[in-house]
Structure 1
Amino acid sequence: MELGTWDAAGNASPPQSGERPLAIEARGLVKRFDGFTAVDGVDLSVPEGAIYGVLGPNGAGKTTTLRMLLGIIDPDEGYRRVLGSERPHDMAHAIGYLPEERGLYPAMKAVEAIAFLGALRGLPLAEGRRRGRKLLEDHGLGHAADRQIRQLSKGMAQQVQILGCLVHDPRLVIFDEPFSGLDAINQGKLEKMMRGLAEKGTTVIFSTHVIAHAERLCDGIAIIAGGKVPFAGPVDVARDRIRAQVRLETRLADGPWRAALPADARHDRKLDGSSFFYFPLPATGIEPLLRALIEGEAGILSLSIERAGLHDAFVAIAGEAAARALEENPEEEQRR
């Protein structure tokens, strides 16, 4: 998807003529709590209609950043613009928000809970009930419409709360760790829902400490570690921080052609005598190497070029300590 608001290096830039306007623009956001700097100079640019992930380990400052964007808390320093307004509260009617803390009134019926959340955003209750029943039907929860929240499973209750974020047809949806607590099937349904929202022009921003969700869904990401953003831009640009890896299998283990391989190429030999070599794609590209292998009669059995995944990019950008913290994957975010 062409976003048009990041340059080739992944730096945010204002939209030019013909590009999508920004749903979110933030510069230099700083937030301190009792002398501790939880967020330290965050810059974000999110085009309208994008799916954008805020990726980082627990306690990195993701929730604090989202709350500043929403106007729940104000930054100590910096600038933010949400849907064209410098006052996020003025745009509350056009925003859907799933907080990290899940919570609905246990005695409320599911359809009433959705209507209530819509009413908080300015939707009349009667219209909220009508839309709520349709949303529940459309997402396979029609049978639960008149059941109390306390009678629903944790996953079903979370789905009801997500639908409550959407009932007023927002232009911008912000989910804080939306996949937490959902089983694999419902995680897949939520991913499909997010794609559907983006296809109709809704901007979707979500925080996560699970790289796989960001890699599958996002047009752009912001990597947060220690309250800072060492990278913000397209997923492809993040992955391109690491050179692609070459996997080569040959019949021969040695010969004049070996000089064409990088000196640090890793070599493994199979029981049948064939050899595997692993090394970064040379800066000159694959063609000169392939020519040397053919002319040297290396006996190529297979050759593949594997692009770096987002996990490897995260390690390269944020560091191994942040990656280890990401992989710890506790159930609840350490709030900051």
Structure 2
Amino acid sequence: MGILTNCSSSPLENICDPSSKSFSKTIAAKLLLGDTSFHCISMNISNLKSFTIGGKISGLTGVGLKLILNQKETLMISPGSTEFVFSSKIPIGSDYEVNFATQAEGDFCELINSIGKVGNKNIQDIEINCKASCIKCIIFVTQNGYPANIGKASNFDSSCQSDPNYPGSGNFKAMVVDGVSRRASITSNLGDGQIDWVFKANNAYIRPNGINIETSNPNGLFTSTISTPITSITSDHWTGLELDWTTFLDGACLKWTTNSASELGIAGDAYTQDILTLTRGKGLQHCSINRQLVCVEQ
């Protein structure tokens, strides 16, 4: 029988030691298996791997396009850009949402695939498609009333496009805020912190029949009065706004997620030249009643 010589035991590795090969192999295996459970000492694999958020751009010609990621990080986009990526990284399993902080001058841009959950790779499939925006932009009030439990403020936009009062062409957004998917101002009448806001800076707005309403100020707001009421008859429309364009309690109606009679939301009246009446002239109203929308061409 042969005798083994020069034998030595293999060194034992601590799989909880980030510097060990065993630790690296364990983490790699967990990633492949999609296992996000805690590893060793309160360590979640989601905190070990993060990825960037970005995508493609087409048709951008104007200056001033600013994106916002998860309501925090902003990114300015130069005219002619064909792609974008945010500098921060988002952990695996985390939600992400990209929105417009401001639109580019002369352009109307739309987002595709802008909401999702981070997997095991960089997000690169968000699309921003831009085209020329309106010059004298139409504002109209919907014929129909719409329920408050739409999910978020920007979801009201589709009702503008399908309402009987839709003028037949153009892209419209609803003048409704929730402080999350749409915001007009953080500070009274300042227009700071805007998210996907409906009015552009220094832009002329008209009725569908061409009658002038007013030109917005450099912050995309009207801060005193407007020359002509948006409509010739009284309206009762959702806004979620305070009289100074700030957001009332996330727009209320639980951020436009409920039509319960026990919850309240802010409504306005568009048959006025007064900003207070336009933004919140009807005051707090029950979320159980369908109400009209003020729709603004983009």
Fold-level match, TM-score > 0.5? Answer: no
TM-score for the superposition, normalised by structure 1: 0.20
TM-score for the superposition, normalised by structure 2: 0.22
Greater Rg, structure 1 or structure 2?
2
Higher-RCO chain (CA-CA 8 Å, sequence separation at least 6): 1
Looking at secondary structure, tell me which structure has more helix per residue. Answer: 1
